[in-house]
Chains A and B, each alone.
Chain A
Amino acid sequence: MESLSLNLSLSCHLLRNMNYFTIPWDNLGIGAFWLMLMAFLVALPCSQMGSFLILRRMALTGDAISHSVFPGVVIAFVLIGDLASPWLIVGAGLAGLASTVFIELIHRKTRVKQDAATGISFTALFALGVVLMESMLGKNVDLDLDCVLHGRLGLLLEEHHVEMFGTMVPQPILVMAGVALLTLVMMVIFYRVLLLSSFDSGLAASYGYKPLVIHYCLMFVVSFIVVAAFQAVGAILVIALLILPGAAAYLCSCRLKAMLFLAGLHALLSAVGGLYLHVWFNTDMAAAVVVCGGVLLLLAWLLGPVDGLMWKWLR
Chain B
Amino acid sequence: MAIALETHDLTVTYHKRPVLYGIDVTVPEGSLVGIVGPNGAGKSTLIKSIMGVVPSSGGWVKVFGTPLKENLHRVGYVPQRESVDWDFPVTVMDVALMGTYGRLGLFRRPGKKEKLQAQEALEKVGMLPYANRQIGNLSGGQQQRVFLARALAQDSDLYLMDEPFAGVDAATEAAIIELLKEMRERGKTVLVVHHDLQSASEYFDKLLLLNMRLVAFGDVKEVFTPELLQKTYGGRLTILSEVADHAAKF
Contact = CB atoms under 8 A, between A and B. Distances in A.
Secondary structure dominating the interface of A:
helix
Interface stretch (A130-138, A146-154, A193-201, A275-283): A193-201
Interface string B65-84: 00001001001110100011
A42 to B, nearest CB: 24
Given A193-B106, A254-B89, A255-B91, A200 B79 contact: yes
Interface in A185-236: 189-190, 192-193, 195-196, 198-200, 202-203, 205-209
Interface in B31-77: 48, 51-53, 69, 72, 75-77
A192 B83 contact: no
Secondary structure dominating the interface of B:
mixed
**Which one of B51, B72, B85, B88 has the greatest number of beta carbons of chain A within 10 Å?**
B88
A258 B107 CA distance: 21
Contact of B72 (A192, A207, A258, A306): A207
Given A192-B109, A196-B101, A203 B89 contact: no
Interface in A222-271: 250, 253-256, 258-259
Given A193-B106, A202-B77, A256 B52 contact: no
B201 interface: no
B79 A202 contact: yes
Nearest to A192: B101
Given A189-B107, A250-B89, A255-B94, A207 B102 contact: yes
Contacts of A189: 107
B4 interface: no
Contact of B88 (A190, A199, A205, A208): A199
A60 interface: no
Contacts of A208: 69, 72, 102
B98 interface: yes
Contacts of A303: none
A251 to B, nearest CB: 10
A205 B98 contact: no
A218 B229 CA distance: 47
Contacts of A259: 89
A200 B83 contact: yes
A259 B89 CA distance: 8
Interface residues of B, number: 29
B138 interface: no
B105 to A, nearest CB: 9
Contacts of B248: none
Interface in A12-56: 55
Nearest to A110: B15
Interface string B83-117: 11100111100110010011010110100000000
A199 B107 CA distance: 17
Given A192-B101, A200-B84, A206-B51, A254 B91 contact: yes
A260 B104 CA distance: 23
Given A200-B83, A203-B77, A203-B79, A253 B89 contact: yes
Nearest to A255: B89
Contacts of A250: 89
Interface in B160-202: none
Contacts of A254: 89-91, 134, 136
B129 to A, nearest CB: 17
A55 B84 CA distance: 11
Interface of B: 48, 51-53, 69, 72, 75-77, 79, 83-85, 88-91, 94-95, 98, 101-102, 104, 106-107, 109, 134, 136, 150
Given A199-B95, A208-B102, A250-B89, 18 more contacts: A55-B85, A55-B88, A189-B107, A192-B107, A192-B109, A196-B98, A199-B84, A199-B98, A202-B53, A202-B77, A202-B79, A203-B150, A206-B77, A208-B69, A254-B90, A255-B90, A255-B134, A306-B134
